[in-house]
Amino acid sequence: MPAPIYLDHAATTPVRPEVLEAMQPFFGPRFGNPSSTHRWGREARTALDAARERVAKCLGANADEVCFTSGGTEGDNIAILGGWRVLKPKGRNAIVTSPIEHKAVLQSVHQATKEGAEERFIAVDSTGTVQLQSADALIRDDTAICTVMWINNEIGTIQPIEELAALAKSRGAIFHTDAVQAFGKVEIDARKTPFDFLAISGHKIGAPKGIGAMYIRRNTPLEPLFFGGSQDRGRRPGTENVAYAVALATAAELTLAEHERESARLTALRERLETAILAKLPDAIVHGRGAKRAPHVLSISVPGTDSESMLMALDLQGIACSGGSACQSGSVGASHVLDSLDLSAEIANAAIRMSLGSLTTDACIDRVAEVFPALALKARGLASVG
Amino acid sequence: MSGGVDSSVAAAMLVREGYDVIGATMKLHSDGAEVPDKPCCSLDSVNDARRIAERIGIPHYVLNLEKSFTRDVLDDFVSEYARGRTPIPCVRCNTFTKFRDLIQKADTVDAEFVATGHYARVMNGELNRGTDDAKDQTYFLWGIERSAISRMLLPVGDMTKPQVRVLAHELGLNLVAEKPESQEICFVPEGNYAKILTEHLGADAPSLSPGPIVTSDGTVVGEHLGFAHYTIGQRRGVPGGYDEPMFVTEIRANDRTVVIGPREELMGRGVIARGLNWLVDPAPRVGDHVGVRVRHRAPIVPAEIVRIERDEIELALDAPVRAIAPGQSLVLYDGDRVLGGGFIEASRRARAPLPMATI
């Protein structure tokens, strides 16, 4: 079999060699606890502070506005629950979100609802973009927080964060955005876009799994979810993961340095793949087509196929993609994102997400453009299990 | 691959024999949340299957067949109980889920065979009983399409369960080698099927509402809290105080009545089944002498086919058989060969009249 092809960068990415090298010393000689006052501690503290500043710079933020987390899920949890719990007693009980959010956001919102919050969902158009008119009607002076992702992880649509953040601001609500897929794909600058909270994840950009960061705009009310020491200004107690913080800072800088070139490269590859597949499968449906889309995601449904069988067949050909959201057991469930796009169940259940990134080459795209349509045409010839 | 010892050993044996094996675990139900400690289809079982696949070096996939399983198996299970019958969901799961849907999945990846850990054998293109008499699972397999037999690989079918466990250790599958057997129906946690019925039918469904318990002469001797809690042959929940033990002998859904009687009233000499499926060609005919099984693990008894009309068959049993329950399977055997079967519709206390001689 030819070399396997990884087309699932939206799921995770390999740790970059530069990142691995940068974090290495903190597992060995520079192992200190940043809270200690002795020389080992000071050394670790210095590295942590520097990492925080570097991440802050990548977000257009001040260092004190950056909090390290375990990843995107934790950032979303802290932002939504931590923000809502402070504002609830002040007469702001509503949370406004979209139906196409990542589960980390949706489940955090549901948790708040269990605790008494009112959840409201902004309408999404058929391309998978939230509608500002709907947001305008839902974000009111009873709203604690509005949370909308910057780039959708399943279909790659870019959401109007600028406008949404401004809207939330004008109603006195906190605005949070899950920017896990957005970092390195669109410009993120806290000085230009008025978001209050923002969550990013390390392993999507070449850092290890288990590290992320949260942007917390100065003077934004926030209640912590963890209790303990005073680390990270008490917003996230627990001994800091210095090695991973350094890794995140390194990965973030590298990603931003390559942002323009890489985005152009991935966009061209994605377009080529999309065009090639549509040429062979003219009735295939590209989700998010016509909307502003991130360069690295291609979500496509071929009528008459089902994503479970396609993923299995692709994997057996050495091509790694993903379907809807994977549930804990590893089975492919119906995607709540596609479900909210006004698609037939048949089309929603056929979706395959290919996400491009550092491992994607011209040769990869050529092979997938060859194999994918062939497998889809074959699958279509067989009755599907419903 | 359920994550149990039988399917794990089956997969490992095929790998050893040089087959190109793809592991699959079917996710069939979820109970809303993913329950971690159920014997089958739970998160832990899927993880075990995945680890075994990793161990023997094959890819592993979880196939979500929840929708079709609900339609083909679960809904029928519920409606059968609502009709006062005793359903046998494993038959429909084998018929529709494992040896139809899974074969379709196999087609999409060009897999020639579907292998399972069933205790049954394919010999000369026909389905046969497993070697281990105590484990034979052909009682649940009679409903499959005949054409599926040529696609089946049943590697553990000619072993006994203890042999399978020994082989599991030899193959390095210690993780599952001593796993306890799952006796209950996979989608019924802790055997509490009443809970499932309540969820699907509502607590006020006729099958879950009180009704009379009567003896065969019609005397009302008590009240029950829903006939769905009863099965033919059951003693639990039956009023006592009689000279001999009393059993459920009949469930009448139309007037919500549970009939009880002594052991002799539980014995049947004839059985009628519908939904016939034949696994041999030519199919059996009236007058043929066959072996029949009317319940899992019940002895196979000699019988004679006295009537076959369209989709219905009637057999006269050479000796009385206990607790013939509508909804269970009737499976016909010729020695170890599985001829086919149907779902039991009714039993007869008396031996059915012999067929008229036809020339």
3-state secondary structure of A118: strand
Least confident of A65-79, B95-109, B114-128, B180-194: B180-194
Closest Cα in chain B to A349: B64
Q: How confident is the model at residue B159 (pLDDT cuts 50, 70, 90)?
A: very high
Average pLDDT over residues B35-59: 79
A319, A371 contact by CB (below 8 A) = yes
Name beta bridge partners: B246.
Answer: B262
Closest Cα in chain B to A328: B43
A321, A353 contact by CB (below 8 A) = yes
Q: Which of B22, B34, B68 sits opposite A329 (nearest CB)?
A: B34
Residue A69: half-sphere exposure toward Cβ, Cα within 13 Å: 29
pLDDT of B51 above 80: yes
pLDDT of B63 above 70: yes
In whole angstroms, give the CA distance from residue A341 to residue B133: 54
Average pLDDT over residues B332-338: 98
Best residue in B40, B43, B45, B64 for a mutation probing chain A (most A CBs within 10 Å):
B64
Across chain A, where does the E strand assignment appear? 5-6, 66-69, 94-97, 118-121, 143-147, 174-178, 197-201, 212-216, 285-286, 297-301, 319-320, 351-355
3-state secondary structure of A88: helix
Identify the pLDDT of residue B44.
83
Identify the pLDDT of residue B32.
46
Identify the pLDDT of residue B39.
47
Q: How far apart are the first and last CA of chain A?
A: 31
User: Cis peptide before A14, with omega less than 30 degrees from 0?
Assistant: no
In whole angstroms, give the CA distance from residue B37 to residue B201: 26
pLDDT of B358 above 70: no
pLDDT of B41 above 70: no
How close is the nearest chain B Cα to the Cα of A313, in Å?
A: 5
In whole angstroms, give the CA distance from residue A10 to residue A353: 9
CA separation (Å) from A347 to A10, A196, A285, A307, B208? 21, 37, 8, 9, 40
Chain A residues in contact with B108 by the CB 8 A cut-off are 309-310, 312-313, 378-379, 382
How close is the nearest chain A Cα to the Cα of B182, in Å?
A: 20
Chain A residues in contact with B64 by the CB 8 A cut-off are 308, 331-333
Identify the pLDDT of residue B237.
87
Is B186 part of the contact surface with chain A (CB cutoff 8 Å)?
Answer: no
Contacts of B236 (CB under 8 A, 6+ apart): none
Identify the pLDDT of residue B359.
43
- C-beta atoms of A382 and B108 within 8 A: yes
How close is the nearest chain B Cα to the Cα of A172, in Å?
A: 37
Closest Cα in chain B to A305: B108
Identify the pLDDT of residue A331.
64
Tens of pLDDT along B2-11?
999 999 999 9
B315, B331 contact by CB (below 8 A) = no
In whole angstroms, give the CA distance from residue B75 to residue B78: 5
- C-beta atoms of B107 and A382 within 8 A: yes
Identify the segments of chain A with pLDDT beneath 50.
Answer: 384-386
In the set A58, A67, A146, A327, the catalytic residue is A327
In whole angstroms, give the CA distance from residue B30 to residue B38: 11
Chain B residues in contact with A304 by the CB 8 A cut-off are none
Q: Is B90 a catalytic residue?
A: no
Is B27 part of the contact surface with chain A (CB cutoff 8 Å)?
Answer: yes
Identify the pLDDT of residue A381.
82
Identify the pLDDT of residue A330.
66
- C-beta atoms of A308 and B59 within 8 A: no
Q: Average pLDDT over chain B, rounded to whole?
A: 92
In the set B40, B41, B90, B186, the catalytic residue is B186
What's B227's DSSP letter?
A: G
In the block, tokens 């200690």 appear at: A36
Identify the pLDDT of residue B356.
52
Angle at A85 (CA atoms; ends A82, A87), nearest 5 degrees: 110
Chain B residues in contact with A351 by the CB 8 A cut-off are none
How close is the nearest chain B Cα to the Cα of A282, in Å?
A: 21
CA separation (Å) from A50 to A53, A173, A197, B142? 5, 32, 21, 70
Window 297-326 of A, Cβ < 8 Å to B = 308-313, 315-316
Maximal C-alpha separation, chain A:
70
Average pLDDT over residues B265-279: 96
Which H or E run includes A103? helix A103-114
Closest Cα in chain A to B107: A382
C-alpha dihedral over A130, A135, A137, A139, to 10 degrees?
Answer: 160
Which H or E run includes A379? helix A362-381
**Secondary-structure percent of chain A, ordered helix, strand, coil, rounded to 5:** 45, 15, 40
A267, A295 contact by CB (below 8 A) = yes
Is B108 part of the contact surface with chain A (CB cutoff 8 Å)?
Answer: yes
Structure tokens at A343: 């698609």
Closest Cα in chain A to B33: A328
Residue A165: half-sphere exposure toward Cβ, Cα within 13 Å: 21
In the block, tokens 């990415």 appear at: A13
Is B109 part of the contact surface with chain A (CB cutoff 8 Å)?
Answer: yes
Q: How confident is the model at residue B205 (pLDDT cuts 50, 70, 90)?
A: very high
pTM: predicted TM-score of the whole model, two decimal places: 0.88
Is B285 part of the contact surface with chain A (CB cutoff 8 Å)?
Answer: no
Q: Is B186 a catalytic residue?
A: yes
**Between B16 and A380, residue with greater pLDDT:** B16
